[in-house]
Amino acid sequence: MTKELSKGIGKGLSILALAFAMSGCVDAEQANSEGRSPMSDEREQEQSVDPAADANRGARIAELDNQIRTMVGVARADSLDQCRLAAVGKRACGGPEYYIAYSTKVTDEKSLQKLVDEYTQLRIEHINATQEMSTCEVIPEPQLSLENGVCRAVAHSTM
């Protein structure tokens, strides 16, 4: 009889544990009419993004990125003095998305800066609208070099 009693208690406890697990952490007073907690509704409202606006912004960001890279092209220069570095975009934790080397010999700086500024502004809007997160790695500013008549962005050596 003790064996049967143990089995009965074990079954009862299992059913009770299952009932608690299924009920979740929100009681009936906290749940809204759809059965979701008020906290999840707040998070959803904070993160709600207009899909059409986000798609348009994303398309424009991609278009600007392509225009920036096309404008820079092959950054041909006669001397290192003609080489410049542009910090492009914005990361969620700060700092640019990437750096690009360009040459004042073949690139109109004002036109390039206008594209970079618009791209960066759209990235900031995207980050704010979507609450984008990142790994917060710091991208160190590279050094400029002139290799075979082409401006290059070169990572700092760690030695």
For residue 133, what are the CA distances in angstroms to 96, 109, 137, 145? 14, 31, 11, 33
CB within 8 Å of 26: residues ≥ 6 apart: 37
Query: What CA–CA distance (Å, rounded) separates 125 from 11?
Result: 55
Segments forming the whole domain that contains residue 78: 49-154
Indicate the number of domains in the chain. Answer: 2
Share of the chain above pLDDT 90, in %: 52
Together in a domain, 32 and 88: no
Residue at 85 is within a domain:
yes
Alpha helices in the chain (DSSP H): 2-23, 38-47, 51-72, 109-130
Query: Are 149 and 85 found together in one domain?
Result: yes
Last residue of a domain, one of 10, 27, 45: 45
Q: Assess whether pLDDT exceeds 50 at residue 147.
A: yes
Q: Is the pTM of this model over 0.95?
A: no
The answer to whether residues 98 and 125 belong to one domain is yes
38 and 57 both lie in a single domain: no
Residue 133 in any domain: the answer is: yes
Convert the pLDDT of each residue in 65-108 to its tens digit. 999 999 999 999 999 999 999 999 999 988 999 999 999 999 99
76 and 31 in a common domain: no
Per the domain annotation, does 159 fall within a domain?
no
Query: Do 6 and 58 have their domain in common?
Result: no
| pLDDT tens figures, 81-93 | 999 999 999 999 8
Please report the DSSP string for 115-126 in residue order.
HHHHHHHHHHHH
Per the model's pLDDT, the better-predicted residue between 107 and 47 turns out to be 107
Instruction: Kindly give the pairing relationship between strand 83-88 and strand 98-103.
Output: antiparallel
**pLDDT at 12 > cutoff 90:** no
pLDDT, position 132: 84
